[in-house]
Amino acid sequence: MNYVNSSSKFIITNMLIKTLFAISFLIANVFTYADSIIIFERFNLDIPLLQGNSCEDINNKFSKLQETLSQLGFESNFRLEAPSCQCQGDQCLNAISGRFLTYGNVAIPTRTDFNFHGVNCWNTSLIAQGLVSNLRHVSHKEFSLHTNSANCKSVNESSAKPGDLIVIRQLVDNQVNELHAFTMIDPELGIVLSKNGYHTNEVVNLDSYEYVNNYYHTKDGCRGLTGDITKQLSNCSENIYSEILQCEFTPFEYKSNEAMVVNKMILDVEKQLNNLSLDKALLTRESAIDLINSYNEILNKLNKDSKSYSIKEKQQIEAHLLSITIHIYEFRKAFNI
């Protein structure tokens, strides 16, 4: 990935911090929230800004943020740009720079466009839970297999912890639709990790818990619902609500040899997708054809051995394949294959 322009972009952002400061106070109800972080992406920028009542307060918040990320298993190159701390009275802002966030063996580029559509909120959320090991699309079906299991319990907002999985849902005709998922980083600071869409320019970023909820129309009082949710939606816009999930996931274990072979083939395709999403030089017509051929081999293998899988194995494989299918569609369209 090319970050040649990152330093010049920061200089521009630093200037904008100064020029937009007055605006931020004038439209506080729109531009800022009670949380500790705001994003200038509303102005076609994507640099997170910590806010506090002094530069020292911001430094303390950033130290806490770094400590929490480390405790959750994330590594990052995030840092505060010391010269950019700007104050008006007792309200201060400071930009967070850095673009790399790593969880386990997965490098998650933040504030960076992907090379193709598909990588989505359900993917990055499951990566943060240790269930997915590559950047790729995750279908609602695959996501639901994990989050609707007995591995998760719903808690209210006051019980939220770092690392919790937050899922925004909508009840339509007694059916639950998955709308969005993101990761609680620090409930005290109101900071989350979110990718608000599956398009290339909808980036992974640190964001405000309040902003993400407002973006998806999750009203206060409709967040972190537990128990019989259907009885709690009377004041929720379009029956949209969130659940805060605390999960202890155990990766699904395949038993049959045929299923293990197919799963290995799928993971190999995932790894290809991961590499292609990060390195544009690898994204060629030839690599797209190779990926499509690998996908077709999986389908042939699955059809050939269809009677060899257990019901749960087949359910897992089909949900996994559905997630990958969107990439195949995008590559066929992009390269006219």
Task: Evaluate whether 298 touches 265 at the Cβ level (below 8 Å).
Answer: yes
Query: Tell me, what's the pLDDT at 33?
Result: 43
pTM, entire model: 0.87
Q: Which residue has the higher pLDDT, 61 or 19?
A: 61
Torsion of CA 291, 296, 299, 303, to 10 degrees: -160
Give the span between the Cα atoms of 337 and 328, in whole angstroms: 10
Query: Tell me, what's the pLDDT at 177?
Result: 92
The mean pLDDT value for 292-314 works out to 92
The mean pLDDT value for 250-275 works out to 92
Nearest to 291 by CA among 308, 274, 279: 274
Give the span between the Cα atoms of 298 and 306, in whole angstroms: 12
Query: Tell me, what's the pLDDT at 17?
Result: 52
Residues 48-68: pLDDT tens digits? 888 889 999 999 999 999 999
> Which positions ≥6 away from 237 have C-beta within 8 Å?
217, 219, 222
Query: Tell me, what's the pLDDT at 43?
Result: 46
What are the C-alpha distances in Å from 274 to residues 266, 278, 279, 291?
12, 7, 9, 12
Find the helix packing angle between 257-278 and 285-304, rounded to 10°: 160
Give the span between the Cα atoms of 225 and 231, in whole angstroms: 10
Q: Which residue has the higher pLDDT, 239 or 92?
A: 239
Nearest to 193 by CA among 138, 125, 134, 137: 125
At 155, give phi and psi (nearest 5°). -130, 165
At 235, give phi and psi (nearest 5°). -105, 10
Of the pLDDT bands very low, low, confident and very high (cuts 50, 70, 90), residue 241 is: very high
Query: Tell me, what's the pLDDT at 227?
Result: 93
> Cα 282 vs. chain centroid, distance in angstroms?
24
Residues 153-211: pLDDT tens digits? 999 999 999 999 999 999 999 999 999 999 999 999 999 999 988 888 888 999 999 98
The mean predicted confidence, pLDDT, of the chain is: 86
